[in-house]
Structure formats: C-alpha cells, structure tokens
Amino acid sequence: MVFDENYEDNVYDVIKDIKNNKFRDFFKVFDPHVRVAGRPEDVKLAREKVKQLLDTRSNRVTMKIDVSYTDHSHIIGKGGLTIKQVMEDTRCHIHFPDSNRTSTVEKSNQVSIAGDMECVERARARVRALTPLVFSFELPIVSPSQPLPDINSPYVRQIQEQYNVQVMLRNRPKLHANLLVVKGVQWEVKATMEATGLLMNYMCGPLASQTQVQMSLEISPMHHSVVVGRGAEQLKVIMKGTGTQIMFPDADDPNIPVIKKSCVTITGQIKDVYAARQQLVGSLPLVVIFDVSEEACRVETEAATKLMQKHNVYINVRRKPKQGIASVVIKGIERCAGDIYEARRELLGGKEPVITAEIPESYNIPSLGSSMPAFGAFNPFSPSLEYALSPAPLSPVYGACAWLVSPQPRPAQFHYPTLSVPNSVVYKNQSWNPMSNGADMGVMPQPMMMQTYQQVADGRPLSYWLHFQV
C-alpha cells in the first residue's frame, strides 16, 4: 500500500473497503500481511491506524495439535474441499505441514489452527471428528490352493454401503497371512466398529471370537514420554484398563527408520482397541500460543505459577519490549483442553467468555483403584518439575518430564460437532469420499501475497519500510 499526504483518509477508505467487500472472507480466515511505504513518521502513524481497523489479534490464538500424518490427506479432502469447508465454518486457518509432501524420510504430525479462541476450539473438534478410523485383523490361514476371500462379494459391498466404510485386503507374504482392513471415520465410530464385527464373523467364522483387531497410530517420538508417563506408568494403566497390548517403537534404535519411529500399534478386541486409542489421543500435548500487549499481560512469576498449579498447565511468557507485546505459550494435554482455555482467560484478567472444550469422555483414563487413586497429582507440564517461568523460548522436547499419569479433565458433556460438509464431499455413495483410495492431499489455500512497491507515488525514494502482521 502506498499513501500520499492524506494517509489517514487513504488508510480508512482502503481498509474499510477491504473489510466490507470482496476481501472480507479472506480476513476471517487468514492473517493479513500489510506493507506500508513512506516517510518514517507517516508509516508509524499508518501502522497504528491499520492495526486499529484490522484488529485481528486481540483474541487471536494459534493452537498446535498432533494428528497422525497418515490422516492428513483424508482430513484435507480432494482438492482441499473438506478442510476448506471446515475453515469457512469455523473462520479459522488450518495449516498442515508442507514438508510431508516431499519428504520420504521424516514426517510431521503437527497441525496448526489459527483464529479466535472459541473458533479454534470448534475447528480442533472438527478435525478430530474427521479423522479416519482404521481397524484391521488377520484372516485364518488357509492352504495356498484355496482362493483369497472375495471383498467384492454382495455381502461385503452391502456392508460398505450400509455402514459407510471401505474394505481392503492386504497380502502379507512374509508372514503367510492376509490382513483385512476396515476404514471408517471417527464421527461414525459405532458404525465402523459394527461393520468390523460383522466382517470378522463373515471372514473368520467360528474363529472370530478369538481373532484380535489391530490399529496403528502415529505419535511423534518427541511426545512418547508425555504419553507413556514416567517408567511407562501411564501406558501400563491404559493397557491394564483396556486389556490391550500397545507397542511403542524405540526412538533411540538406529536400526528403525525415522519414519517408523512414530508408529504405535494397539492390539486387542474391537472396543478395547478403540478405548486405548482414545486414551492415547487424549494424552497428547496441546499448545496454545497468543500475543498480547504488555499492559494486558502484566503477570508476575508467582501469579503464573499459581495458575500453572491450579490448572495443571505450563505457562511461558516471553516479553518483546521493542514491539510492546508479550508472547504467551500455554501447554497442557488435549483431554484437559478446557483447563488450558481457562488458564488463558484468567491470565488475561477474566474478561473473555468461558470456552467449553468439546472433549469426549473416552479420552479419560479410568482409575484402576487404590493403586492409582489420584491422576491429577501428576502432570507432565507441572511447574513443580524442572520448568520455570522465563523469557527463554520453550524447548519442543518433553523427554525431561518426571511424572506418572497425566491429569484428567473436569467433567463436561460432550457431543460430536455438527458437520456441515456437503454430502458430495463426505459420503461414500456420492462423487467423492475421504475414505477412498483416490483421496489425495489437496492444495491448501495460501495467504495473499502483497505486491512489493519500489517507490512511493510521487517518485520519492523510500526512506522507511515496515512489514507487520495484524
């Protein structure tokens, strides 16, 4: 943008036009980047005017969650249709790591959601609800002369149509076994589990009751210590409570390829495998990052420590005196997302409305009795550990956490968020289905690139540049 002497009128007219017309939806979803060129004193005044008119950061946060990279393309949808719908409905920008498209050695599970706090929570719940749900089981061993099961039989096709699942057959020649894979979606979990049970009875006959189900889940190695707990105590609680076997790869084993070090395998009965999966997902770290003015966030170390102890979160405040703001990072666990939101609200003086987290009850880890009576006493982000409030950036590695079992959330009613994705995008009997083999990673919409001006309107050389985000 280039403005003349009447910069105040120019800024007001241009930004008003942008907000009220064709770029209105753009600013709802993306962070607008504005570049102003002119004399230093004019640019500073224009900067304040633009920030005042485009005050998108007053309640804007960035959330980082872990979603299996193998699920990203299904959540995004063909051509990005599914995730675009979610972004429009929630008025958030959802970013999936670009490096996953090209890297064959290492993948990232991190998904970032940016927007207003309430909208970000809605978007998080929608992303979780759109996550594919995949069960697999081995078929009984038969002689080589016998044909493989027909997954195109009328009965199997009927199950696929009725329960909205996809059925695949994978041959495992080294193990002399065949694996049947049933793929559904999280927000239709009951239908997916019921379809899996029917297919087990159909394919395995009398051996169905003895056949175990398997599920894979990608958890970043840097988060293994958070999920399993000190001495693997939390993992033991989950396995004992669900009766499942959960295998975490050794992240320090040089013989395991990097891309395989995040693959966690759960084995057991259908309902138990799903219960274990939910408890693992609920134990994943959740991070909320936001900027506030120093005046709005004058918090002392003692007050921040009390908030951390009260809500079982870790708070880091990094002040930026030159910019007059403070960058705040609050870490917790996904099943306790409500505590993270409440810690943020109290940190900001309790002026914002209470945010209700849509967390399913299945994320909770039930107590096994007197041996583990108090889950809330152990927290990977507790201030009583080695953490301290400091201006230093947070380390992404959580391996130093000394804890047993992560905290449990406060009781709250849960319901799956309403999905307004068009039928043509979601359901299998329409033109495209995120469960189909042809689902590919669509191109994510990118923020608009602002033109770089070389000189101001009257030909004067530029004396000052300012590139900022509002």
Q: How far is CA 312 from CA 219, 296, 329, in A?
A: 22, 23, 14
State residue 409's pLDDT score. 63
* Spatial separation of the C-alpha atoms in residues 447 and 334, rounded to whole Å: 28
Render 308-325 in DSSP notation, one character per residue. Answer: HHHHT-EEEEEEETTTTE
409, 338 in Cβ contact below 8 A?
A: yes
397, 425 in Cβ contact below 8 A?
A: no
Indicate if the pLDDT at residue 12 is higher than 60.
Answer: no
- High-pLDDT (> 70) share of the chain, %: 66
Indicate if the pLDDT at residue 208 is higher than 80.
Answer: yes
Report the amino acid identity of residue 158. Answer: Q
Q: How do the residues of the chain divide into helix, strand and coil, expressed in percent and rounded to 5?
A: 40, 20, 40
State residue 296's pLDDT score. 60
Indicate if the pLDDT at residue 415 is higher than 50.
Answer: no
CB atoms within 10 A of CB 287: 20
Indicate if the pLDDT at residue 363 is higher than 50.
Answer: yes
Indicate if the pLDDT at residue 199 is higher than 80.
Answer: yes
Indicate if the pLDDT at residue 19 is higher than 70.
Answer: no
What is the DSSP pairing of strand 263-268 with strand 213-218? Answer: antiparallel
**Mean pLDDT value across residues 330-358:** 92
Indicate if the pLDDT at residue 331 is higher than 90.
Answer: yes
CB atoms within 10 A of CB 276: 27
Residues paired with residue 100 on neighbouring β-strands, in sequence order: none
**Mean pLDDT value across residues 285-310:** 81
Least confident window among 100-114, 156-170, 271-285, 430-444: 430-444
* Higher local confidence (pLDDT), 428 or 309: 309
* Spatial separation of the C-alpha atoms in residues 402 and 204, rounded to whole Å: 45
Least confident window among 63-72, 78-87, 173-182, 446-455: 446-455
* Higher local confidence (pLDDT), 330 or 396: 330
State residue 52's pLDDT score. 61
Indicate if the pLDDT at residue 26 is higher than 50.
Answer: no
Question: Which three-class secondary structure state does DSSP give residue 155?
Answer: helix
**Mean pLDDT value across residues 285-306:** 79
Q: How far is CA 18 from CA 14, 23, 54, 90, in A?
A: 6, 5, 10, 20
226-276 per-position pLDDT tens digit: 999 888 899 999 999 999 999 999 888 888 888 889 999 999 999 999 999
State residue 82's pLDDT score. 94
State residue 390's pLDDT score. 35
Q: What domains lie within the chain, and their CATH numbers?
A: 7-56+449-469 (no CATH), 60-130+416-426 (3.30.1370.10), 132-282 (3.30.310.210), 286-377 (3.30.1370.10)
pTM tops 0.75, yes or no: no
State residue 392's pLDDT score. 33
Indicate if the pLDDT at residue 324 is higher than 60.
Answer: yes
Render 213-258 in DSSP notation, one character per residue. Answer: EEEEEE--GGGHHHHH-GGGHHHHHHHHHHT-EEE---TT-TTS-G
Token reading at 432: 């495209």
Question: Judging by beta carbons within 10 Å of its beta carbon (0-12, 13-18, 19+), is residue 286 exposed, middle or buried?
Answer: buried
* Higher local confidence (pLDDT), 293 or 87: 87
Indicate if the pLDDT at residue 400 is higher than 80.
Answer: no
**Mean pLDDT value across residues 278-295:** 90
Least confident window among 35-44, 182-191, 338-347, 411-420: 411-420
* Higher local confidence (pLDDT), 113 or 177: 113
pLDDT band at 371 (very low <50, low <70, confident <90, very high): very low
* Higher local confidence (pLDDT), 73 or 18: 73
114-170 per-position pLDDT tens digit: 999 999 999 999 999 999 999 999 998 876 667 777 888 999 999 999 999 999 998
Q: What are phi and psi of 2, to 5 degrees?
A: -130, 130
Least confident window among 29-33, 67-71, 90-94, 126-130: 29-33
Q: Across the chain, what does the average pLDDT equal?
A: 75
* Spatial separation of the C-alpha atoms in residues 180 and 184, rounded to whole Å: 13
Q: Is the dihedral of CA 357, 361, 277, 343 positive or negative?
A: positive
Q: Is the dihedral of CA 270, 272, 275, 281 positive or negative?
A: negative
**CA nearest 404: which of 386, 424, 387, 382?**
382
What is the DSSP pairing of strand 110-116 with strand 166-172? Answer: unpaired
